[in-house]
Structure 1
Amino acid sequence: MSLKAFISYLSLEKNYSPHTVKAYRKDIEAFSRYCRDEHQINDIEAIAYTFIRGWVVSLVEKGVANRSINRKIASLKAYYKFLLRVGAVTVNPLAKHKALKTSRKIEVPFSEKEMEEVLLKIPFEDDFEGMRDKLIIELMYTTGMRRAELIALGMNNVDLSKGSLKVLGKRNKERIIPILPSTRKLFLSYFKKRSTLDFIEDAAFVFLSKSGNKIYETLVYRIINKYFSLVSTKVKQSPHILRHTFATHLLNKGADLNSVKELLGHSSLASTQVYTHNSIAELKKIHSSAHPRSKQ
């Protein structure tokens, strides 16, 4: 019952996205299975920190990355904080837990050349799926929107006359994002193809599968991976890399960090600053090639 109450708390009070809530539930259920299978304990509200340490060790032995383990423990920590708050427990067993050390995660964005090759040189099919795929890539690259925001984008949130979109970000925070003329043209072409579908189940949403249902996370990932694997040898070719690319390319061209923060829908500048290391590298390259002293 407490887990169900915690999930409701995350969804209704914290306004976490369904994707985030699902991740919390999976982590807590995984720990529950460990306690049941390894220690024959069904009530994880009554466990001691030693059991949590044992779970961490078992995850390490299975080869789970420290970053992933820290995320699982963070889910568990939030759960026990909730239990403490509602009076279900008197002590948080994770109160003094220290996260495992992790190396800095560096995500390499796509280059401008790679983006140009995908959007201008790859021959997308002139059908519903081809037009949809191209619009998805164009939209994520030119707006920086999150995958969840793209999936949830409603028909009534697209204003082509004003050249803007209204998206619902994290914590149900709305923001308006401008779209480029090229993106507007793609929208018009896509809507024509969309209208030819034999059946539409989820008409309120912009992006659909060919069966007429709202698109889903793995489909978006497959679309990005399919086209970028044709032009890029980067290990990671995910929707988030497109968001990362959007921010990096704007900063490389001199965009104001605070403006990029607003476009991305970040709540703090610190979240946006993770993208600046690529921008600084680009500035160093420009400085080195353009400054008169660089020839000395």
Structure 2
Amino acid sequence: MLKDSFLKYLLLERNYSEKTILSYGIDLDEFEAYFKSVDEEFEFTSVDADVVRGWVLSLMDEGRAETTVNRKLSSLRSFYHYLLRQKLVAVDPVAKVVGPKKKKPLPVFVRDEAMNQLLDGFEFPQTFEGVRDKAMLEVFYSTGMRRAELITLRDEDVDFSALVIKVTGKRNKQRLIPFGDRLQEVLSAYLQERARFYSGECEAFFIRKSGVRLSPSSVNYIVKRYLSKVVTLKKKSPHVLRHTFATSMLNHQAELEAVKELLGHESLTTTEVYTHTTFEELKQVYEQAHPRA
């Protein structure tokens, strides 16, 4: 049988694992069951692209994930490449069949109430680390800057008189982010606390007690530690706070173009993903509140 010779080829010539070969076999069995249900006379060598597309659609109708469907299509593609090389078929029926596009997951964000609970209701330790960590969280939430941008932030980048932070983003592109009185107070309190422990010139705005800048992993740990106190999200990272900033801005009527500039996105398309998030929220509110939803 064609299928058996293909699986034997995967084992002996391609050195595929037994588990992988089993998956290929299951995929081919499913495809065969489908085309036989369409026409008993069909064989692997006689099906065309329309039959393959029909199989893909049937898998989608069954609720299979896009990744699963594309993996099965990849198995079929490898099978027909093998048949072509063996001159067992003249045409590859999978060649012009495109699998389903994988949906991009919507950005994960923290709701305003949870952020207020953390920043206003939670008692941060009255230590250097506690004051610093709160200031960092406030910066992430109030500016939407990236983790790398916060780590490389310097004292001279923060203008307390103009209430503006100069951020150096990807490809050294700089942008200005305004901030309000609330963040000014928090940052001033941090600098006062920092001066108590380190009087020398600092290599970064946010540092350890020793004056050394924070590492990416330590920033991740700090954010995850504090977000865990108010949310049960699987992902609790600085980037989640960036998403939170953008979503909160749009939910409070900020213009998309303005949010794009604040985030440092080059394309408006990148920023538009946050409008999907806010629309999902709107949909949930509608479904919960409207009597005929």
TM-score, length basis structure 1? 0.62
* Identity rate, percent: 41
- Greater alpha carbon shift after TM alignment, 276-285 vs 177-186: 276-285
How far did residue 101 of structure 1 move?
Answer: 6.8
Rounded Cα–Cα distance in structure 2 between residues aligned with 1:165 and 1:231: 28
How far did residue 277 of structure 1 move?
Answer: 1.3
Match of 1:229 in 2: 228
Residues 1:126 and 1:227: Cα distance change in structure 2 (over 3 Å): same
- Once superposed, which parts of structure 1, at least 4 consecutive aligned residues long, lie more than 3 Å away? 98-103, 282-290
Match of 2:91 in 1: none
Match of 1:108 in 2: 108
Match of 2:24 in 1: none
Residues 1:100 and 1:195: Cα distance change in structure 2 (over 3 Å): farther
**Aligned pairs for 1:189-208 within 5 A:** 189-198=189-198, 200=200, 203-208=202-207
C-alpha contact (below 8 Å) 2:106/2:276 kept by paired residues: no
C-alpha contact (below 8 Å) 1:252/1:283 kept by paired residues: no
Rounded Cα–Cα distance in structure 1 between residues aligned with 2:110 and 2:101: 28
Higher Rg of the two aligned structures: 2
Rounded Cα–Cα distance in structure 1 between residues aligned with 2:175 and 2:99: 34
Match of 1:152 in 2: 152
Rounded Cα–Cα distance in structure 1 between residues aligned with 2:180 and 2:102: 39
Rounded Cα–Cα distance in structure 2 between residues aligned with 1:160 and 1:280: 36
How far did residue 273 of structure 1 move?
Answer: 1.0
Rounded Cα–Cα distance in structure 2 between residues aligned with 1:196 and 1:289: 52
C-alpha contact (below 8 Å) 1:110/1:242 kept by paired residues: yes
Residues 1:225 and 1:100: Cα distance change in structure 2 (over 3 Å): farther
C-alpha contact (below 8 Å) 1:199/1:211 kept by paired residues: no
Structure 2 unaligned runs (5+)?
1-13, 21-66, 68-97
Rounded Cα–Cα distance in structure 2 between residues aligned with 1:211 and 1:111: 35
Rounded Cα–Cα distance in structure 1 between residues aligned with 2:122 and 2:196: 24
Match of 1:78 in 2: none
C-alpha contact (below 8 Å) 2:147/2:238 kept by paired residues: yes
Match of 2:176 in 1: 176
How far did residue 172 of structure 1 move?
Answer: 0.8
RMSD: 2.8
Rounded Cα–Cα distance in structure 1 between residues aligned with 2:153 and 2:259: 20
Residues 1:210 and 1:252: Cα distance change in structure 2 (over 3 Å): same
Q: SS in structure 2 opposite 1:110?
A: coil
Structure 1 unaligned runs (5+)?
1-53, 67-97
Residues 1:154 and 1:286: Cα distance change in structure 2 (over 3 Å): same
Q: SS in structure 2 opposite 1:275?
A: helix
**Aligned pairs for 1:21-170 within 5 A:** 102-170=102-170
C-alpha contact (below 8 Å) 1:135/1:186 kept by paired residues: yes
Rounded Cα–Cα distance in structure 2 between residues aligned with 1:127 and 1:99: 55
Residues 1:185 and 1:198: Cα distance change in structure 2 (over 3 Å): closer
Rounded Cα–Cα distance in structure 1 between residues aligned with 2:217 and 2:278: 30
Q: SS in structure 1 opposite 2:196?
A: coil
Match of 1:255 in 2: 254
Instruction: Look up the equivalent residue of 1:242 and give its one-letter code.
Output: L
Instruction: Look up the equivalent residue of 1:126 and give its one-letter code.
Output: Q
